[in-house]
Structures are given as structure tokens and as C-alpha cells.
Amino acid sequence: MNITETANNINSENPLLTLKYEPAIESLGNEYYDQVIAEQFPQHTLRWRNDAILPTLGLNPRFVKDEDFINAFGKFQGREPFLALRYHGYQLGQYNPQLGDGRGFLYGQVRGTDGQLYDFGTKGSGKTPYSRGGDGMLTLKGGVREVLAAEALHRLGVRTSRCLSMVETGLNLWRGDEPSPTRSSVMIRMSKSHIRFGTFERLHYIQRPDLTKKLLDHVIEIYYPHLHNSQDALEDKYALFYAELVKRVAELVAQWMAAGFCHAVLNTDNMSITGESFDYGPYGFITTYDLYFTAAYFDYYKRYCYSQQPEICKLNLELLQETLKGIIHENDLDVSLSKFGEYYQAEYRRLMLQKLGFANLANLQINEVDHLLSLTLTYLHETQVGYHQFFYEMANSFDINWRDDQALVMSKSEIFPGIGKSEIFDNWCFLYHQILNNLPIEKIEQVAENLRYYNPKTALLRPVIESVWEQITEVDNWQPFYDLVTTLQEGK
Ligand code: AMP
Ligand code: MG
């Protein structure tokens, strides 16, 4: 057998390579990307494979070997060349026309069993025409952090990309924000799309309205298909697209806020045109309800702090209008954007009430639960007790007797010595007791179940990440990382 035949055999037997790849972006022509090849790495150690998402691709994990992951997503056999996508973006408020896939590329696009088209994007796969001074690489810790964030967020109900695999690649990298030299990895991210707000902004910047329209048609056809297909929508499908994007983004930020998540780098090149969350670098989960919590060390002015996220996303949507103005009437854009706050509030309220145990609002007095929510936030803010800890304690100490006696509410919780005596806490306990008291008794078990489901014990706080990383970096022990991923996925 000659070398070509061997390579072909590997490919035809590799279920990751025989998936039905669709050249969706490729078919738009070469104005949107550059063809690139992947780096050849000195080492390929599979550190993570996300078996939980293989069924969405029509794959049974049992029939996909580790070697298949390595050949496809570490050695990059069988599918070159790849597409480094072109984009610009507003970074920390400044327009940057020097961006683009600088350490990643679009590996391929695959139709899932759910009928949706998914992108496989790489991170850490080598230099491209957009690498500028960078090395095109991803640190191993960066890969570990993105895997963890995506799995945690997914379980918490955030519409997010997920990682398909991570391969350690054997290079020594130098980074200002990690003890260096540090280990390297290449990660595959599965997302709805890697088309960003910044992909459109670039087309405006280079003054190509023809390309903007073509890309917008593509986005609507694939990611907003109901607008593409509906006869009613034919006339103003572009305006309807923007209206829906506003809603999707508003809901996404509400999901982050309820999850206690700070993305940290809300540049427009990190905003997906599908309204999905992706690209987890220096993110952080809040420890307490600290409105100014800022996760990125370089964000000196707290531009992207926890509580600024809704405003920033709204601003990013507004910046996108510049590009869309040639296609969508300005008034339509403004009217759509003016609904951002309303969409955000509705989703945030829904999610927070779920965390408080109320997934179904039937039988509840709306003004009472709204009062409970605002009291909860005031309490969390004033006391700075642990955000995740508070909700977990509710779930853990919940007792049906809370319905009958307000003095029992949270009485078994051990984490608030002294706080139980404060006026705001007493008010909170009274209100919670009252709401339960107004519910039919047979509904109480549902409240307990909601509390348990929506408030996992393990939050992905910085010390949790650092403790698994310490085991990896000091003794190459990956078990705590695998255990943590499972815990996050299961919401334990
Ligand atoms: P990110 O921080 O991953 O959202 O990337 C912002 C921009 O910087 C994108 O254009 C990236 O491709 C580029 N970039 C980030 N890190 C590197 C790197 N190590 N090498 C080359 N380009 C990079
Ligand atoms: Mg990015």
C-alpha cells in the first residue's frame, strides 16, 4: 500500500471525517475568508473529547476512537485547506480593522441530527494571515478553561458553543498572563456559527454593500430559516432579522447574568450573529453579587464588568446598525433596539424566578414573586454572601415546613451566621414563607425540585478552575478535570 492509500483508508474509516460536511461559507466565494493549512505539531495527546455532543452529529461515541479525534482534530488529516475567516471589530470601544482568525479557522460545517448547521472552529491551530505578531497558538490552560466554561454554561441554560475536543500539542508558549513557558493545545469548538458582528462591520468598512447583502441573505437562510421561508416575511425579512437578533442577544445576556457569568471580552468580534455565546478567554463567574466584578486583567476601566454586560451588548447591537443601514430602514432598526430592555428583563426575571424555585408561575401572585426577586437581589448585594452559595443553600436546606412557619425558612442553613437577624433577611424569609403558603401543598415538591435543578452545588469559580489546573500542571493528573467536567455537566 502506498502512502496515499494509507491516508485515504484512515479518512474513510474515521467517522469524524465522513460526516456530511457542507461548504456553506465556502460557497459564498473567497471574499469572506482565506485558505489556510494547520500547524504540524510535535505531540498529539487527546486530553478531552466531548462524547455528550456526538449524538447531535449522528455519532455513537463507542464507534469514535481517540485516534480518530487525533487524526482529524490534532493532525488535521484529510480536510485541508481550511478557512481563516475575515472580520474586524470594536475592541474596548476602538474599531480594529486588523482582526480575523489569527489562531483558528473554520474546520468545516456539519448538519446535525436536529437539522441545524454547526461550525467546527479551531483555536490554537497555527498562524494565518491574521496572526499579526501572535504565534497562532492556544495555551493548554486556555483550552481547559474554555471546555469548562462551555459545559458549565450549557448546563445552566445559556445558549452557548461547546468544545468538541482538545489535543495537547507539545509546544512551549510564552504568555504575559500565565507562568511561562506554558503548555499548548488545539481545541475544536462546535458552535452555531462563527459569523460575528465584526464580520459584517468589516464589509461596511471596506465599502462592499454587495457582500453585506449576500452574507445577510446567507445568515437569514441558515440561522433564521423561518424568516427566509415565510411568504409574509419576504418583504421585510431583513428588518425582522435584526428584530430577532436583538431579542436573542438580550436573552443571552440575561442568561449570563442569571448564571452569574462575566464574559469579559465583549468586543464585537466576539458577538455571534446567531445570538449564541462563544469564545471564553479571561471570563469569570461572580463569587458574590458584585456588580463591578471584572474578569479581564486588561479591562482597567471595568468596561466589560458583570453588570455592564446588558448595556454593552445593546451598544454592540447599535454599532451593528451602521452596517445594516443600507439594507434596513433606520426607523425599523431603532424600534427593534428599543425593545432590548424589555426582552432582557423578561428573560432575566424568568431565569431568576426559576432559581428561586418557581419555574411555573401559575398559582403565584406576580407582584409577590417580583418583590421576592428584588428583595433577593438587594439582600445579595448588601450582604455579599456567595451568589451561588446562597441559591445552593436554599436548594439544600429546603423544607416543606417553610410553608407553615417563617422562622424555619433557611434556619438549617449554616452559612449565614448573624445574617439571619438582619431586617432584610427576615423580610425575605417572611415573603418566601408567604409565597409557599399561598401555593397548593401538592406544588411544594415541584419548588424543591426546581431549586435543586437550577442551583447546582458546584460553581465554576476561579479557585475551582485553579485547583484542577494545579493537578494538571504539577503532576499531570487529569482526573480532577474530568471529574469537574462531569460534575458541571450533571449540575451536581
Ligand atoms: P480573541 O482574544 O481570541 O477573541 O482574539 C482577538 C484577536 O486576536 C483575533 O483576531 C485573534 O485571532 C487574535 N489572536 C489572539 N491570540 C492570538 C495568538 N496567540 N496568535 C495570533 N492571533 C491571536
Ligand atoms: Mg475572539
**Using a 6 Å cutoff on CB, does residue 101 contact ligand 1?**
yes
Report how far ligand 1's centroid is from the alpha carbon of 103 (Å).
6
More confident residue, 136 or 412: 136
* pLDDT above 80 for 39: yes
Query: Which one is catalytic: 119, 269, 279, 299?
Result: 269
**Using a 6 Å cutoff on CB, does residue 182 contact ligand 1?**
no
CA dihedral 362, 367, 371, 377 (to 10 degrees): 60
What are the phi and psi torsion angles at 95 (to 5°)?
-75, 130
- Strand, helix or coil at 267? coil
Query: Which cell is 427 given?
Result: 423580610
Note the ligand closest to the C-alpha atom of 91: 1
Q: Are 379 and 428 in contact (CB under 8 A)?
A: yes
Q: Are 387 and 288 in contact (CB under 8 A)?
A: yes
Report how far ligand 1's centroid is from the alpha carbon of 202 (Å).
16
For the stretch 318-352, pLDDT in tens is 999 999 999 999 999 999 999 999 999 999 999 99
**Counting atoms of ligand 1 from 1, which one is nearest the CA of 270?**
4
Asked about 269 being catalytic, the answer comes back as yes
Query: Which cell is 274 given?
Result: 446567531
Q: Tell me the best of 131, 180, 201, 298 to mutate to test the pocket of ligand 1, counting ligand atoms within 8 Å of each CB and taking the most.
A: 131
**pLDDT at 48 (0 to 100):** 98
**Using a 6 Å cutoff on CB, does residue 137 contact ligand 1?**
yes
**Using a 6 Å cutoff on CB, does residue 121 contact ligand 1?**
no
Note the ligand closest to the C-alpha atom of 270: 2
**Counting atoms of ligand 1 from 1, which one is nearest the CA of 99?**
10
For the stretch 229-282, pLDDT in tens is 766 655 689 999 999 999 999 999 999 999 999 999 999 999 999 999 999 999
Report how far ligand 2's centroid is from the alpha carbon of 97 (Å).
14
Q: Are 277 and 256 in contact (CB under 8 A)?
A: yes
Report how far ligand 1's centroid is from the alpha carbon of 331 (Å).
35
Note the ligand closest to the C-alpha atom of 84: 1
Q: What is the pTM of this model?
A: 0.96
Query: Which cell is 442 given?
Result: 401538592
Mean pLDDT of 70-79: 97
3-state helix, strand, coil in the chain (%, to 5): 50, 15, 35
**Using a 6 Å cutoff on CB, does residue 100 contact ligand 1?**
yes
**pLDDT at 1 (0 to 100):** 39
* pLDDT above 50 for 2: no
Report how far ligand 1's centroid is from the alpha carbon of 123 (Å).
9
Taking all residues of the chain, what is their mean pLDDT, rounded to a whole number?
95
Residue of the nearest CA to atom 23 in ligand 1? Answer: 102
**Counting atoms of ligand 1 from 1, which one is nearest the CA of 123?**
3
Residue of the nearest CA to atom 13 in ligand 1? Answer: 102
**Using a 6 Å cutoff on CB, does residue 279 contact ligand 1?**
yes
Q: What is the Cα 154 distance to its own chain's centre?
A: 7
Q: How far apart are CA 30 and CA 122, in angstroms?
A: 19
Q: How many other C-beta atoms are found inside a 10 Å radius of the C-beta of residue 137?
A: 26
**pLDDT at 417 (0 to 100):** 52
Mean pLDDT of 149-162: 98
Mean pLDDT of 189-198: 98
Residue of the nearest CA to atom 12 in ligand 1? Answer: 102
* pLDDT above 60 for 312: yes
- Strand, helix or coil at 16? coil
**Using a 6 Å cutoff on CB, does residue 129 contact ligand 1?**
no
Report how far ligand 2's centroid is from the alpha carbon of 177 (Å).
17
Q: Tell me the best of 103, 141, 269, 279 to mutate to test the pocket of ligand 1, counting ligand atoms within 8 Å of each CB and taking the most.
A: 103
Residue of the nearest CA to atom 4 in ligand 1? Answer: 270
Report how far ligand 1's centroid is from the alpha carbon of 175 (Å).
13
- Strand, helix or coil at 185? strand
**pLDDT at 430 (0 to 100):** 96
**pLDDT at 395 (0 to 100):** 97
